Chain A
Amino acid sequence: MGYAIEVLDLTKKFRKVKRIPTDAGFGEAHWIMALGLKLKFLKAEEMVAVDHVNLKVKEGELFGLLGPNGAGKTTLIKCLSTLLIPDGGSALINGYDVLRESDRVKRCINLVGSGNWIGFDWALTVRENLEFFANMYGLRSGVAKERIDEALKIVGLKEKEKETPSKISSGMRQKMIIAKGFIIRTPIFFMDEPTIGLDPVSAKDIRTYIKEKLSEELGETIVLTTHYMQEAEQLCDRIAIMDRGKIVACGTTRELKDMIVRQEVIEIEAINIGTKLTNEIRRIDLVDNVANHIDDEATLTGTIRIHTKDAELVLPAILNSIERNDGKVLHVAASQPTLEDVFMKLTGKGLME
């Protein structure tokens, strides 16, 4: 089996450009400001969004890119789908070079993004929009109808097919984007955070379809970006963990978890777990990494995950620390390592931080 995607030393940098104030008094003559800002732009600071990434994805593989917001996942996907020109390195998609053979690459890929207004015609209904996409990709009407019916059913939009995009919720518009992806068949399918903003039931149905139909039955190579570790764990054959533009680890879920096999994980559910407490716990001897997930912002209730070499030894100090910071412990448990623990070990922070 060959590689569907080969990425070698890919780099993408952006310049941090100051946004032009819309209330600067120039009104429609906004470009006058733009001329002035060109000079500032030349001096702008560079930000490396994708930093010398090397990657190989096998044909038919369901590959995950896991990382927090701003890790560079979307930028990498855009470079691979020819929407962004990289600054360095190279990438082969289905054997074609993304820079020199971008037209051929486009004919091998399908891209589902997130953002819920991507290119929809607000005057057309949900079904008409999907018919439009099907026509654009040259699908015969019979096949198009069959695929649209199936896609609408999978994403749960069948009842809304006669509504216009402006009259449905943002979650439903995200479902439309996914449905659009499901009606096109290409060897390589890029999905950029497809289930973001969806209800759990719909997200589960969509994951099942991706796994069972697109990956297992049709054998498509799928690259899926997510910051939901459960999604990556549940779907992907292999996962690359990204942080600050770099791939910090890559392997199967098992291989990644084996990286922290010599560590113990404590999970504490508590009230009032602010940043001050997290920093204090981080300073305790034998504590390697700490991450907190706040579920309720008002009471700062949530979960702290702690990596340590000896849970029994550090637990009293941690509980003391919580008490000193006016916290209240609700539940303490020894936990199994998750992908987030791998991420914490590699980057020293949590996925949601």
Chain B
Amino acid sequence: MSAQRELASPTGKYEVKKADWKTMLWAVWANFKSAVLGWTFFLASFVMNITGMVVNICIFYFLATFTGSAMAPYLAKYGGNFAAYIVLGIAFNSYLGASLNSFYNSYCNGYWGCSFELYATSPVGIKAYMAGVILFDYFVATISVFLYILFGVAVFNISFGSGANFGVAALAMIAGMVAVGGIGLVAASTFTLLNAKQWSNPVTWFVNFLTGLVSGVYFPLEVLPEWGRAIGYLLPQTYAYDAARMALLSGATITNPLIISDLSELFISALITVPIGVFLFRRSLRKAEKDGTLSRWS
């Protein structure tokens, strides 16, 4: 008992001390390490995913070669290089995909791995568990981004040029991650609220479907019909990709009106999605505590 801080409770008995920031960070790190360890068992699956995406890049690149200069007018503000456009689109999509999927994935892991009940009664709480798993998703996304860009540079000779503005690109991606993270929280809430427990939920399915089609991952929005563009402008991903590409491929600075417009849209999106996401996620946890479904076999 001496190892635990003794506090005065109404009955005068000792309690386990509240987790300090060091313990919280340790718990997040330990869960991250554990996820990495598990991932190394299924490395083949990661390699296959990357291969699939690289094939996608090639398909779009050769399609662009086939269409010739027809794409050029649409790519002017991004430096005119379609290979760079597509490689960056797919790379950025890995990050924003992690923001969209990781909350739901970590919830699934916690429920099916029976970890939530254990963490819920511990001083670190389930947030430490979820943070570790989410961190792992970003870690995998970072490796993917690195591999895509490496592939683009080695095979298609893409270059960012001396004017690339990495700071603005990073700012756009962070703002995008926050705004899309709000949608990710809504997706995670469907686990309990809609009983979407089988590693698939309506929110990520629908947003992923729209992102691929109308957010500018694979082709500029300008090639879409008006209704497609209108839907695309509702997605935060659209603004994040646009700003990050302009910053890296055309060297756009923070004072560029287009960048200011994109960042403002991302800020407004985050103001809408994050509170809704937090509200619904809290409701879903509350429902799980009412139904006794924090973990399987409850």
Task: Show the binding face of A for B, using Cβ within 8 Å.
Answer: 2-4, 14, 20, 22, 28-32, 34-35, 37-38, 59, 75, 78, 81-85, 94-96, 103-104, 106-109, 111, 113, 115, 117-119, 121-124, 132-133, 135-140, 143-144, 184-187, 218
Contact across chains for A84 and B292 when beta carbons are under 8 A apart: yes
Chain A residues whose CB sits within 8 angstroms of the CB of B200 once the complex forms: 28-31
From B112, which residue of chain A is reached at the shortest CB distance? A117
Task: Determine whether B146 belongs to the interface, using a CB cutoff of 8 Å to chain A.
Answer: no
**Considering the chains assembled together, what is the distance between the CA atoms of A184 and B1 in angstroms?**
9
Determine the residue in chain B with the shortest Cβ distance to A143.
B3
A75 touching B292 in the complex, CB below 8 Å, given contacts A28-B199, A104-B15: yes
Beyond A30-B198, A59-B11, whether A119 also contacts B30 by CB under 8 A is no
B113-A119 in contact (CB<8A)? yes
Contact A94 B289 (CB under 8 A): no
- By the criterion CB–CB under 8 Å, are A139 and B4 in contact? yes
Mark B278-298 against chain A: 1 for CB-CB distance below 8 A, else 0. 000000001001111011011
Does any Cβ of A come within 8 Å of B150's Cβ? Answer: no
Looking at B54-62, B91-99, B117-125, B234-242, the stretch in contact with chain A turns out to be: B117-125
Q: Are B202 and A132 in contact (CB under 8 A)?
A: no
Chain B 24-35 interface mask (CB, 8 Å, partner A; 1/0): 001100100010
Q: Which residue of B lies closest to A92 (CB)?
A: B10
Decide if B16 touches A115 in the complex (CB within 8 Å). no
Q: Shortest Cβ distance from B112 into chain A, in angstroms? A: 10
Do A119 and B119 touch across chains, with their CB atoms under 8 A apart? Answer: yes
Q: How many residues of B contact A (CB 8 A)?
A: 55
CB–CB B121/A138 < 8 A = no
Q: How far is the CA of A124 from the CA of B37 in the complex (A)?
A: 9
- Shortest beta-carbon distance from A24 to chain B in Å: 11
Assess A113 versus B117: contact at CB under 8 Å? Given A31-B195, A186-B16. Answer: yes
Whether the Cβ atoms of B118 and A119 lie closer than 8 Å is: yes
- B139-156 with Cβ < 8 A to chain A: none
Q: With A30-B198, A31-B202, A85-B290 given, is the CB distance from A140 to B11 under 8 Å?
A: no
Asked if B198 contacts A28 (CB within 8 A), the reply is: yes
What residues on B are CB-neighbors of A107 within 8 Å?
Answer: 7, 15-18, 123
B54 to chain A, nearest CB (A): 24
List residues of chain B with CB under 8 Å of any chain A CB.
1-4, 7, 9-11, 13-20, 23, 26-27, 30, 34, 37-38, 41, 113-115, 117-124, 190, 194-202, 205, 286, 289-292, 294-295, 297-298
A59 touches B3 (CB 8 A): no
Residues from chain A with Cβ under 8 Å of B27 in the complex: 135-136
Contact B38 A123 (CB under 8 A): yes
Q: How far is it, in angstroms, between the C-alpha of A132 and the C-alpha of B269 when the chains are bound?
A: 39
CB contact under 8 A between A78 and B292, given known A136-B23, A138-B23, A143-B3: yes
> Across the two chains, which residue of chain B brings its CB closest to A20?
B195
Cβ of B11 and Cβ of A30 under 8 Å apart?
no
Contact B4 A185 (CB under 8 A): yes
Q: Are A138 and B9 in contact (CB under 8 A)?
A: no
* Contact A38 B194, beta carbon cutoff 8 Å: yes
Residues in A whose Cβ lies below 8 Å from that of B18: 103, 107
CB of A135 within 8 A of CB of B118, answer no
When distances are taken between beta carbons in the complex, the residues of chain B under 8 Å from A124 are 34, 37
What's the Cα separation between A75 and B289 when bound, in Å?
12
Please determine whether B10 and A84 come into contact, CB atoms closer than 8 angstroms. Answer: no
How far is it, in angstroms, between the C-alpha of A170 and the C-alpha of B205 when the chains are bound?
37
Across the interface, do A140 and B3 meet the contact criterion of CB distance under 8 Å? yes
Do the beta carbons of A95 and B198 come within 8 Å of each other?
no
Given known pairs A34-B196, A119-B113, A136-B123, the reply for A95 and B16 (CB within 8 Å) is no
List the B side residues contacting A96 at CB < 8 Å: 9-10
On whether the beta carbons of B196 and A30 are closer than 8 Å, the reply is yes
Tell me if A83 and B294 are in contact (CB < 8 A): yes
Given contacts A22-B198, A108-B15, contact A119 B115 (CB under 8 A): yes
Complex formed: what's the CA distance from A217 to B222 in Å? Answer: 76
Q: Which of B4, B118, B289, B297 contacts A138 (CB 8 A)?
A: B4
Q: Report whether A109 and B23 are in contact in the complex, using a CB–CB cutoff of 8 Å.
A: no
CB of A21 to closest CB in B, whole Å: 12
Known: A38-B194, A143-B3. 8 other contacts (CB 8 A): A14-B292, A28-B199, A30-B200, A94-B11, A94-B15, A106-B120, A115-B114, A136-B27
Shortest Cβ gap from B134 to chain A (Å):
17
A138 touches B17 (CB 8 A): yes
Could you list 27 examples of A-B contacts with CB < 8 Å?
A: A28-B199, A29-B200, A31-B194, A34-B194, A34-B195, A94-B13, A95-B11, A107-B7, A107-B16, A107-B17, A107-B18, A108-B13, A109-B121, A117-B114, A118-B295, A119-B114, A121-B34, A135-B23, A136-B27, A136-B124, A137-B16, A137-B122, A139-B4, A144-B3, A187-B9, A187-B11, A187-B15
